[in-house]
Amino acid sequence: QLQLQESGPGLVKPSETLSLNCVVLGGSMSSTHPYWGWIRQPPGKGLEWIATISYVGHTYYNPSLRSRATISRDTSMSHFSLRLSSVTVADTAVYYCADLGIVGRDFQEWGQGTLVTVSS
Amino acid sequence: QSALTQPASVSGFPGQSITISCTGSSSDVGGYDYVSWNQQHPGKAPKLIIFDVNKRPSGVSDRFSGSKSGNTASLTISGLQTEDEADYYCSSFTSSITLVFGGGTKLTVL
């Protein structure tokens, strides 16, 4: 059973860059698991899709975050990352990574999430 | 992109059936059979319960079913149980090759 585990800084200062990592356990990014993504959820609010990456490196972004977000993958295909620049308090959220499966249209498996707080 | 529209809350008694709607446009819900539903219990990560409008992942109860008509998708939960109390989010693929969520619906089992 494939599992995902996020890691992040916990606390980030306004205007800095947030970096998050997602480790794929029990599997890897491959032709059988080609699409992976990041989603976030501000405290008490709903889910927001951030970005998707394919195992061959194609990337797709939420238009509202495209200018600040960068999704990337490691060449080992065992983990992928998200960088979000120029953060503000509005970026405070639980960040989830997810396996988007064969066609990248839904969220097949989710990580447990990691809370990132933006505060000075 | 605009979030899909869901009712903020629905409720029902144990054993009853409830339906949650998810309304979008011809650029997302209406244009593709790529609507999914995720269940989220408090303090937990979401879990996929319906994909491709009406397909259930292995292990998901057949009390959960999905459908779509025009620009509106629906999730029906039959034989409501106390453990169904959770937040439910729809999502859809869009013509811009992006994904969009609904605002979420809180289900209360009375």
pLDDT digits (tens, 9 = 90+) for B14-51: 999 999 999 999 999 999 999 999 999 999 999 999 99
Count CB pairs under 8 A between chains A and B: 61
Could A110 and B45 be called an inter-chain contact, meaning their C-beta atoms sit closer than 8 Å?
yes
For residue A77, is pLDDT > 90?
no
Which secondary-structure segment (H or E) carries A97?
Answer: strand A93-101
For residues B49-85, one letter each, b for 16 or more C-beta atoms within 10 angstroms of the residue's C-beta and e for the rest, the string is bbbebbebbeebeeebbbebeebbbbbebeebeeebb
Could A61 and B98 be called an inter-chain contact, meaning their C-beta atoms sit closer than 8 Å?
yes
Quote the pLDDT of residue A7.
97
d(CA B66, CA B29): 13
Q: Please name the amino acid found at residue A31.
A: S
> What's the average model confidence in pLDDT over A8-14?
97
Q: In chain A, which residues have their Cβ closer than 8 Å to the Cβ of B4?
A: none
Could A106 and B96 be called an inter-chain contact, meaning their C-beta atoms sit closer than 8 Å?
no
For residue A104, is pLDDT > 90?
yes
Quote the percentage of chain A above a pLDDT of 90. 87
d(CA B68, CA B58): 21
Q: In chain B, which residues have their Cβ closer than 8 Å to the Cβ of A49?
A: 91, 98-101
Token pair, residue B1, equals 């992109």
Compare all CA atoms of chain A with the CA of B3 and give the residue at the minimum distance: A48
d(CA B81, CA B23): 25
Compare all CA atoms of chain A with the CA of B6 and give the residue at the minimum distance: A46
Residue A55, chain B, CB below 8 Å: the answer is: no
